[in-house]
């Protein structure tokens, strides 16, 4: 008699499955950053990657200036005198310094951003001052150096402000402008070619016949890649025909740093794609212990990296964010990609889970009535339910060893705001 339990009830993980972490690190270690550098105007640098260190050519701010509207005074005049009376001898405007000398017992009216006059070291805000004609009473409780921004307190001349590998975001644009820098050396943009495979697929703008569906994956890919500032080569839908697929791979590898395909990597489907890829490079076909997104192909076609993503629309997005995005970031030269933030949050709805795969369920992160962060499911979790990605603002990550989750359980959540 056969005492073996049926395989579908086995509790040992499938040895042919690769963990999400292993898949990610195998991919990351195979990626090399692009080498070319170009010079662009700083605004065109938004979303690009710094290629050479930026050294500050000046102090920022360049001069010691007032943080408030008020009066610039000598702190020695303030010491412990409650009824000190100072004579106002002029005004320092932002951009129009007061250039006279300030003697004992004198003060200068000063505006925010104006250079703090020589010999003064403290600004008393106007609200705390009693003004009588051309004199002021600065009152008590003032501290030496208050309301004064020191030259170089933001950036010092000669300091490395931005290092190679830094992604240029709005703050960096402002930082570069504050240094008077007009052009910046950046890594060249990487170029990604992508196409969809599947005989059932039709492009939008055509009519569907029985059994056909619109190709949506090229649109999510377009969106995800465009958000990363990548140069795109959209190669359309390639029919499941040997010659067409081979031509598409050859063309793509001639012009792109990476190739992304969707569909056709699941067992049974992949056979002739495998033959073609073997001829043109090396590709591994993996079964990753994740849901959705189990089948995944990764390797090289000519000199381009190749990512063969599954066909199901949600699988495409999950595998892109978990594997392709960090790889493309490394390829683009970004040094600190930073793993996406993971939060531990109570889940207010039960979640169904079976098997030993890591699940990326779609969730909605929100504040409850007490202002506490909670997460709930978007509902049906099929890998074809793209609407779940549209409703969600996070992935709920259930580790392989977890089972179904009861309402109230703490779960790990990856907010889309740090991911997409
Ligand atoms: P496959 O991985 O080729 O077996 O495809 C898995 C499922 O995803 C099938 O239901 C396909 O019809 C669907 N699919 C594949 N490619 C696309 C696409 N580009 N757009 C929308 N659905 C797709
Ligand atoms: Mg297919």
User: Looking at residue 408, which CATH number applies to its domain?
Assistant: 2.40.340.10
Which of 90, 125, 149 is the last residue before a domain boundary?
149
Could you tell me if residue 3 is inside a domain? Answer: no
Evaluate whether 108 touches 92 at the Cβ level (below 8 Å). yes
Residue 196 and residue 143 share a domain: no
Model confidence band, residue 272 (pLDDT cutoffs 50, 70, 90): confident
Query: Is 7 among the domain residues?
Result: no
Exposed / middle / buried, residue 296 (Cβ in 10 Å: 0-12, 13-18, 19+): buried
* Rounded alpha-carbon distances, angstroms, from residue 180 to 65, 158, 169, 301: 19, 14, 17, 44
Among 263, 268, 309, 383, the mutation site with the greatest number of ligand 1 atoms within 8 A of its Cβ is 263
**Chain segment 224-243, per-residue pLDDT in tens:** 999 999 999 999 999 888 99
Nearest CA to ligand 1 atom 10: 312
**Residue 299 and residue 207 share a domain:** yes
202 lies in some domain: yes
Domains held by the chain: number: 4
Of all ligands present, the nearest one to the C-alpha of 213 is: 1
Q: Which of 201-205, 267-271, 303-307 has the lowest mean pLDDT?
A: 267-271
Please indicate, yes or no, whether residues 202 and 261 belong to a single structural domain of this protein. Answer: yes
Residue 128 shares a structural domain with residue 171: no
Q: Which of 121, 149, 177 is the last residue of a domain?
A: 149
Order of strands, edge to edge, in the sheet holding 122-125?
122-125, 70-73, 106-110, 86-92, 135-137, 130-132
- Nearest atom of ligand 1 to the alpha carbon of 200: 12
d(CA 369, CA 356): 35
Q: Let me know if residue 96 belongs to a domain.
A: yes
pLDDT, mean over the chain: 93
Same domain for 177 and 273, yes or no, is no
Asked whether residue 29 is domain-assigned, the answer is yes
Residue 336 has pLDDT above 80, yes or no: no
pLDDT of 8 reads: 37
170 and 125 in a common domain:
no
Any domain includes 5: no
Residues with CB under 6 A from ligand 1: 196, 198, 200-201, 213, 215-217, 262-264, 266, 269, 310-313
372 occurs within a structural domain: yes
Q: Among 260, 258, 263, 305, which residue's Cα sits nearest to residue 281?
A: 305
Q: At 414, is the pLDDT very low, low, confident or very high (cuts 50, 70, 90)?
A: very high
Q: What's the predicted TM-score (pTM) here?
A: 0.90
Ligand 1 pocket mutation, candidates 194, 312, 317, 384, criterion most atoms within 8 A of CB: 312
Cα–ligand 1 centroid distance for 385 (angstroms): 12
Do 326 and 363 fall within a single domain? no
The predicted pLDDT at position 5 comes to 40
Task: Tell whether 10 is covered by a domain.
Answer: no
Q: 127 is in which domain, residue-wise?
A: 65-149
User: Measured between alpha carbons, how far is 109 from 126 in angstroms, rounded to an integer?
Assistant: 9
Which of the listed residues 97, 122, 149 is the one where a domain comes to its end? 149
In angstroms, what is the span from residue 183 Cα to ligand 1's centroid? 44
| Same structural domain, 69 and 53 | no
Shared domain for 393 and 365, answered yes or no, is: yes
CA distance 326 to 306: 14
User: How confident is the model over 28-77, as pLDDT tens digits?
Assistant: 999 999 999 999 999 999 999 999 999 999 999 999 999 999 999 999 99
Do 293 and 404 reside in the same domain of the chain? no
Q: Pick the ligand that lies closest to the CA of residue 308.
A: 1
One domain, residues 204 and 315: yes
Whether 7 has a pLDDT exceeding 80, the answer reads no
């Amino acid at each position: 008699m056969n005492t073996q339990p049926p395989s579908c009830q086995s509790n040992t993980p499938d040895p042919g499955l690769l963990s999400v972490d292993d898949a990610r690190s195998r991919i990351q270690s195979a990626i090399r950053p692009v080498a070319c550098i170009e010079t662009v105007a700083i605004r065109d640098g938004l979303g690009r990657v710094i290629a050479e260190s930026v050294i500050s050519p000046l102090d920022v701010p360049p001069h010691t200036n007032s943080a408030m509207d008020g009066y610039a005074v000598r702190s020695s005049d303030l010491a412990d005198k409650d009824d000190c009376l100072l004579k106002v001898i002029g005004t320092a405007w932002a951009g129009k310094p007061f250039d006279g000398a300030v003697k004992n017992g004198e003060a200068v009216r000063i505006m925010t951003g104006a250079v703090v006059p020589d010999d003064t070291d403290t600004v008393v805000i106007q609200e705390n001052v009693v003004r009588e004609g051309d004199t002021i009473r600065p009152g008590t409780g003032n501290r030496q150096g208050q309301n004064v921004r020191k030259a170089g307190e933001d950036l010092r001349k000669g300091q490395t402000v931005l290092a190679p590998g830094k992604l240029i975001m709005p703050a960096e644009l402002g930082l570069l402008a504050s240094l008077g820098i007009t052009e910046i050396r950046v890594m060249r943009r990487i170029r990604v070619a992508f196409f969809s495979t599947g005989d059932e697929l039709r492009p939008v703008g055509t009519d569907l016949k029985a059994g056909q569906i619109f190709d949506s994956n090229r649109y999510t890919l377009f969106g995800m890649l465009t958000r990363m500032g990548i140069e795109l080569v959209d190669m359309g839908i390639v029919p499941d025909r040997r010659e067409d697929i081979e031509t598409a791979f050859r063309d793509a590898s001639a012009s792109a740093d990476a190739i992304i395909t969707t569909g056709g990597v699941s067992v049974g489907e992949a056979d002739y794609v495998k033959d073609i890829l073997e001829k043109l490079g090396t590709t591994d076909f993996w079964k990753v212990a994740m849901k959705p997104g189990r089948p995944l192909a990764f390797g090289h076609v000519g000199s381009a990296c190749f990512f063969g993503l599954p066909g199901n629309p949600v699988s495409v997005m999950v595998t892109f964010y978990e594997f392709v995005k960090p790889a493309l970031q490394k390829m683009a030269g970004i040094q600190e990609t930073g793993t996406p933030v993971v939060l531990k949050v109570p889940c207010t709805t039960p979640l169904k889970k079976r098997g030993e795969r890591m699940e990326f369920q779609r969730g909605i992160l929100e504040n409850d009535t007490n202002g506490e962060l909670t997460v709930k499911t978007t509902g049906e979790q099929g890998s074809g339910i793209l609407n779940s990605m549209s409703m969600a603002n996070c992935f709920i990550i259930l580790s392989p060893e977890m089972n179904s989750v009861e309402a109230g359980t703490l779960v790990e959540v990856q907010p889309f705001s740090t991911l997409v």
